[in-house]
Structure 1
Amino acid sequence: MKYVILIHSNPQPWGHPTQQFTEEGRALPSEEHAEMDRGFEALMEEISASGEFVVAEALADPASATLFRWTPEAHLTTDGPYAETKEHLAGFFLIDCATRERAEEIAAHFTQPGGTVELRPAMWAGGDDH
C-alpha cells in the first residue's frame, strides 16, 4: 500500500533541508546535523534498495504559491500561502510498504527539529481511505 509522508515545517528563512533553517535546528551543533544527514542517507539507501521508495519532492517557499478557489461566478486566483498557520508543507515522500507498521517505522525517521511529520495512506479510485 502506498503512503505519503508529509513534512511540515516553518523555516526562517525558507530553505532546505528545513531543519537547518528552524529555530530548533539552528540551536543544534553541526556535528548533530552531520549525524542526522548520515542517518537520512542510510534510510534513503535502505528504502531505495527495498523498493519502498517511490518519489519525493521538496517544495518551494509557500509565499511563491498561487491559490485557485472555486466560486459560482468564476475561479478566484490569489497569491499564497494558503495556510494561515505557522507550519507549511515543506515536501513529501511517497513510499510503498507491505504494512502500515512498516510505513510508520519509516515515517518516524523523518522527524526533525522544528518540524512535524504526517503519515497518510494514498487514495485511488475505489480504494480504501483508512
Structure 2
Amino acid sequence: MKFMLIMRATDEAWAAAADIDFNEMLETMGKFNDELISAGVLVAAEGLDDAAQGVVVDYSSETPVVTDGPYGETKELFGGFYILNVASKEEAIEWAKRMPVVVPGTKTEIRRVPSIDEFPQDNVWVVKERAWREATGQV
C-alpha cells in the first residue's frame, strides 16, 4: 500500500527554519531518506518551494480564479512530502514517528494513495491510465 506523508509547518516553524544551517538540515534529512531507501519503502520524496511563490486556482466560480500565494490561511502550509510503499497504515505511522523534526511546530499528515486496481477496470479512462503507467514503467 502506498501512503503519502505530508509535512506541514506553522508560520512560526517556517520562521525558525530560516535559522537552521542548510547543510545540517540536508544531513539530517539525508540520513532519514537513506533509512527509507535501505528499507525499500521510499517511492518519492520532495520538498516544496516557498508558498509565496505558489498560486491557488479556485474553482468556486464558472471561470477559475488564480490567486498568488501565500494562501489565505497560512497556519499550516505543506512543505514537502514522502510517498512510501509499506504494508499498512501502522507502518507508515511508524516511519512518520521516526522522521527527524528539524523545527518544532511541524506535523506530518498521512494519507493512503489508492491503487489503480481499486477503480473499475472496465472504465475507459482507467484502461487508458493503466496503459500509460505500463508504457512508462510505473506499474
User: Segments of 4+ in structure 1 off by > 6 A?
Assistant: none
1:117 pairs with 2:108 = yes
The equivalent residue for 1:89 is 78
1:20 pairs with 2:13 = no
Aligned-pair CA distance for 1:125: 4.7
Q: Distance in 1 between matches of 2:88 and 2:117?
A: 19
Aligned-pair CA distance for 1:114: 2.2
Greater C-alpha radius of gyration: 2
Q: Which structure has greater helix proportion?
A: 2
Give percent identity, aligned residues only.
Answer: 29
Pairing of 1:35-54 with structure 2 (within 5 A)? 40-54=29-43
1:8 pairs with 2:30 = no
Normalising by structure 1, report the TM-score. Answer: 0.70
Q: Distance in 2 between matches of 1:39 and 1:61?
A: 20
Normalising by structure 2, report the TM-score. Answer: 0.66
**1:33-74 deviations in Å (ceiling 9; x for gaps):** x6x876644332222022200111111111111111224531
Are 2:52 and 2:69, in contact at CA under 8 Å, matched by a contact in 1? yes
Do the aligned partners of residues 80 and 93 (structure 1) sit closer, same or farther apart at CA in structure 2, a change above 3 Å counting?
A: same
Partner of 1:4, secondary structure, is strand
* 1:106 aligns with one of 79, 95, 99: 95
Q: Distance in 1 between matches of 2:93 and 2:117?
A: 24
Are 1:64 and 1:80, in contact at CA under 8 Å, matched by a contact in 2? yes
Partner of 1:73, secondary structure, is coil
Q: CA RMSD in A?
A: 2.9
Do the aligned partners of residues 2 and 83 (structure 1) sit closer, same or farther apart at CA in structure 2, a change above 3 Å counting?
A: farther
The code of the aligned residue for 1:3 comes to F
Q: Distance in 1 between matches of 2:57 and 2:28?
A: 38
Aligned-pair CA distance for 1:126: 6.2
* Paired residue total: 113
Q: Distance in 2 between matches of 1:122 and 1:88?
A: 20
